[in-house]
């Protein structure tokens, strides 16, 4: 038997698989098939999820493990902010330490345990970097030769300005009013740019943000490889950076920014030193279920209510209590 975990950061849900506990690691095709099966609410368990977080060992100095991120559609992402918090918690508890680095596809990132957000709501801070702006880093085409920072792009949506930031997974951001936030445009644009299109050949995570006040945002994201999500950690981090760059009168570098999302709230802090930008993302790392399953069922992408034994923790009740006392800043409901 091996144990999967169902985890979330701001209700951005994942299954976490520690490959170091397996007799034989899953190969890339098996990981992709498992992600597509187990995250699908119709074929998987526990109403599905947005992806699978894979923990591997790392041979880098001062690093406790490696995280890989497999989206619900089986594609691999270079980074996942909400996922990194839950992987950090898992590695912290496994290794009895609260400050360390985690290897990701492009960088070893600093993580640390923070004070609980509320009773039984553990929290972690994770570094979001490297930050990139060049079209080749996304990639994007047909949107000019240089970086896209607060520019009108009528071909995408007349009347809106867009900023493109890779952290290093790709994000396209627009600051919008409440009516646009609640309307159909985000879903339409997200679906369009994540199908065959002339601008983002590898797809892109699309976020709309509403400025709520000084250092306060509401962010909603249509994720590449997923669709609408309750929260996207890298999306909220990239949007916080865009906030400080594009709206410096209300979004400040080196100050805590509260970022509300349909699944709750995180804090971010954006930093710049010379040409380098990075973001601290701080939020919950919640474990909702422990799932025992035979290793063979993972290799066969067959994790179902028949093959797995599922035990619920009490952490979701604590998380919902925490969310309940947050200010109600949006009418957008949490996705189940
Ligand atoms: N939800 C994640 C981002 C997951 C990856 C994304 N779908 C991509 O393909 O880039 C987060 O919390 O950052």
ipTM here: 0.96
Question: What local confidence, expressed as pLDDT, does residue 234 receive?
Answer: 98
Residue 291 to residue 7: CA distance in whole angstroms: 11
Question: What local confidence, expressed as pLDDT, does residue 331 receive?
Answer: 81
- Residues marked active site are found at 80, 232
CA 128 / ligand 1 centre spacing (Å): 12
* Of the candidates 261, 259, 257, the residue with the CA atom closest to the CA atom of residue 270: 257
Residue 321 to residue 117: CA distance in whole angstroms: 11
Q: Model confidence at 336, in pLDDT bands (50, 70, 90)?
A: confident
Nearest atom (ligand 1) to Cα of 169: 10
Residue 234 CB–ligand 1 contact under 6 Å = yes
Question: What local confidence, expressed as pLDDT, does residue 256 receive?
Answer: 98
The dihedral through the CA atoms of 57, 62, 64, 66 has a sign that is negative
The answer to whether the 2-128+284-324 and 135-281 domains have the same CATH topology is yes
Question: Is 1.20.120.790 the CATH classification of the domain at 135-281?
Answer: no
* Of the candidates 12, 7, 6, the residue with the CA atom closest to the CA atom of residue 262: 12
Residue 168 to residue 196: CA distance in whole angstroms: 22
Nearest atom (ligand 1) to Cα of 223: 7
The dihedral through the CA atoms of 213, 216, 222, 228 has a sign that is negative
Residue 280 CB–ligand 1 contact under 6 Å = no
Q: What is the mean pLDDT of residues 287-313?
A: 98
Q: Report domain extents, the chain.
A: 2-128+284-324, 135-281
User: Would you say 300 is a known binding-site residue?
Assistant: no
How many C-alpha atoms does 205 have within 13 Å on its Cβ side? Answer: 32
CA 321 / ligand 1 centre spacing (Å): 26
Q: What is the largest CA-CA distance in the chain?
A: 56
Question: What local confidence, expressed as pLDDT, does residue 335 receive?
Answer: 85
Concatenate the DSSP letters of all residues of 87-139 into one string.
HHHHHHHHHT-SEEEEE-SS-EEEEEEEEEEETTEEEEEEEE---B--GGGTT
Question: What local confidence, expressed as pLDDT, does residue 48 receive?
Answer: 98
Tens of pLDDT, residues 191-243: 999 999 999 999 999 999 999 999 999 999 999 999 999 999 999 999 999 99
Question: What local confidence, expressed as pLDDT, does residue 332 receive?
Answer: 87
CATH code of the domain made up of 2-128+284-324: 3.10.310.10
Question: What local confidence, expressed as pLDDT, does residue 145 receive?
Answer: 86
Return the residue matching tokens 């594009």.
Answer: 246
């Amino acid at each position: 038997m091996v144990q999967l975990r169902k985890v979330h950061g701001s209700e951005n849900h994942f299954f976490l698989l520690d490959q170091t506990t397996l007799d034989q690691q899953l190969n890339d095709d098996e990981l992709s098939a498992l992600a597509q099966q187990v995250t699908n609410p119709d074929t998987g368990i526990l109403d599905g999820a947005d992806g699978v977080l894979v923990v591997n060992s790392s041979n880098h100095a001062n690093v406790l493990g490696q995280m890989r991120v497999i989206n619900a559609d089986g594609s691999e992402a270079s980074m996942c902010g909400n996922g990194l918090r839950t992987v950090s918690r898992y590695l912290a508890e496994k290794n009895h330490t609260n400050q360390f680095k985690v290897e990701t596809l492009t960088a070893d990132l600093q993580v640390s345990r923070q004070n609980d957000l509320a009773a039984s709501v553990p929290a972690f801070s994770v570094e979001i970097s490297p930050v990139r702006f060049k079209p080749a880093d996304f990639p994007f085409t047909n949107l000019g030769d240089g970086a896209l920072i607060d520019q009108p792009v009528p071909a995408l949506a007349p009347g809106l300005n867009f900023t493109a930031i890779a952290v290093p997974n790709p994000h396209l951001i627009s600051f919008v009013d409440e009516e646009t936030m609640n309307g159909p445009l985000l879903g339409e644009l997200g679906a369009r740019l994540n199908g065959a299109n002339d601008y983002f050949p590898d797809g892109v995570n699309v976020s709309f943000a509403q400025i709520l006040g000084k250092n306060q945002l509401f962010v909603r994201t249509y994720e590449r490889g997923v669709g609408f999500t309750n929260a996207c950690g890298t999306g909220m981090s990239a949007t916080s950076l865009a906030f400080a760059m594009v709206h410096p009168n209300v979004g400040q570098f080196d100050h805590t920014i509260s970022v509300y999302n349909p699944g709750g709230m995180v804090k971010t802090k954006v930093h710049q030193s010379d040409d380098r930008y990075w973001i601290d993302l701080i939020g919950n790392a919640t474990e909702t279920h422990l799932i025992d399953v035979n290793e063979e069922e993972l290799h066969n992408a067959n994790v179902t209510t028949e093959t797995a034994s599922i035990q619920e923790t009490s952490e979701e009740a604590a998380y919902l209590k925490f969310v309940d006392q947050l200010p109600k800043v949006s009418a957008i409901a949490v996705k189940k």
